[in-house]
Structure 1
Amino acid sequence: MNTDPETFICANTSLMAPPHVPEIRLRLASEVHDLWLKTEEDLEEIGLPPPFWAFAWAGGQGLARYILDNPQEVRGKRVLDFASGSGLVAIAAKLAGAAEVVAADIDPWAGTAVRLNARENGVEIGFTADNLIGRSIDTDIVLAGDVFYDRDFASALSEWFAHLAAGGRRVLVGDPGRSYRPTERLEALATYEVPVTRVLEDCEIKRTTVWRFR
């Protein structure tokens, strides 16, 4: 029985380049259901949340693409990548010249995934598993990919992001049309057609927009 996160992640993922961000290589899974079952079996837990850290979601790919194409957004700045998952957006920010990047995700396995993926791309990324929603943060810009998928979570995030934006922090989110996106609080910056897998989505291409939180 193996429950070591690093060994498990390396055994159940492969190094791949997300299709919309080919400059970056990540340890990703090809089948969400298979990996979910393996995770439950190895940890002997029922109902373990899906391993979001094992997939390059459309919102994260769009946001990472925007950051790489617009490095002035993060160059020389302190960056928080909220709900980081694999660390894709955090890595993009560091490659684009951010002075300091911290990935935040409450899934403790995400910390291992971020560390492995950062090492693969030759960058250093900090990590915190703390729940930061509602807290003051010492950063210049907040990035968040694909976070508006749950009503209560999206509501809490919207209030927090609005508070951060009102305090002078730039908040950018990548979203492929999730149900609870607070469109009235957002200003569109760029839109992409992001290739995805039907394992995760109901189509092969997701129209994904990068928004600035007002």
Structure 2
Amino acid sequence: MTRRAAADPAAFIRAETRPLAVPLVPEITLQLAVESLPIWQRTEEELGEIGLPPPFWAFAWAGGQALARHVLDHPDIVRGRRVLDFAAGSGLVAIAARLAGARAVEAADIDPFAQAAIVLNAALNGVEAPQVLAQDIVGTDAGWEVVLAGDIAYERDTALRVFAWLESLAARGAQVWIGDPARTYLPRERLEKVADYGVPVTRELEDAEIKRTAVWRPRALP
């Protein structure tokens, strides 16, 4: 394979994934990897870099599935509102927001592969592609009315920075919804659980075939 990914991530995604229904959200189809290790290796080969994080855009992670399910089941959360899908990955949650009637949707991810996947997956589901934000937006505030964030508690330093920012958005009045299976760096003491789901996942990436996953919101600030 030629080193085409940097020039054309969309071509790489089409070649290395296939359209699959999301287990907990079968209304949505995404370009997903069938196995984790091969696409992980192919991404490293294409970029010429070893030790990269997993290609988050190629999988329907537990937190994103739970959050997308919750949005579709409770469309009033986003209907008619300006919505941000933060760390969007595949764009699953952004697509759910579109389907649920959001007025405007932005999807933020710094990975060029994710940026391409978001656009491809929106087209696959017949919805208008969200505006893709390629820069690091943590610490900014563009006036989003609803902020949706799935699977953002993998790394300590990142989680500390991101959750402080999300709390600041909630403090000024944004609705903040978080999908996460209570990973290590999720600040559960500062969150309230809103809903709980059993999410089908792969043992290649998780420690169970059904991952208990919750939708959370920041607790009321003093």
8 Å contact from structure 1 (residues 60, 174) kept in 2: yes
Correspondences of 1:136-175 after superposition (within 5 Å): 136-175=141-180
- Counterpart-to-counterpart distance in 2, 1:140 and 1:158: 17
Q: Shift of the alpha carbon at 1:211?
A: 0.8
| Number of the residue aligned with 1:61 | 65
8 Å contact from structure 1 (residues 78, 139) kept in 2: yes
Is 2:152 the partner of 1:134? no
2:12 to 8, 12, 15: 8
8 Å contact from structure 1 (residues 170, 213) kept in 2: no
- Counterpart-to-counterpart distance in 1, 2:191 and 2:153: 13
- After superposing on structure 2, the runs of 4+ consecutive aligned residues of structure 1 that deviate more than 6 Å are none
Q: Shift of the alpha carbon at 1:108?
A: 1.4
8 Å contact from structure 2 (residues 9, 112) kept in 1: no
Segment drifting more, 85-94 vs 177-186: 177-186
8 Å contact from structure 2 (residues 83, 145) kept in 1: yes
Q: Shift of the alpha carbon at 1:149?
A: 1.3
Q: Shift of the alpha carbon at 1:45?
A: 2.4
8 Å contact from structure 2 (residues 148, 178) kept in 1: yes
Q: Shift of the alpha carbon at 1:36?
A: 1.0
Segment drifting more, 137-146 vs 70-79: 137-146
Point out where structure 1 has 5 or more consecutive residues left out of the alignment: none
What's the TM-score once normalised by structure 2's chain length? Answer: 0.94
| Number of the residue aligned with 1:21 | 25
Segment drifting more, 94-103 vs 129-138: 129-138
Query: SS at the partner of 2:165?
Result: helix
Q: Shift of the alpha carbon at 1:187?
A: 1.5
1:196 to 189, 201, 217: 201
Point out where structure 2 has 5 or more consecutive residues left out of the alignment: none
Is 2:112 the partner of 1:108? yes
What's the TM-score once normalised by structure 1's chain length? Answer: 0.97
RMSD: 0.9
Aligned length: 214
1:51 to 49, 55, 62: 55
After superposition, the C-alpha distances for 1:23-44 in whole angstroms (9 at most, x for unaligned) are 0000000212110111111222
Give aligned-pair identity as a percent: 60
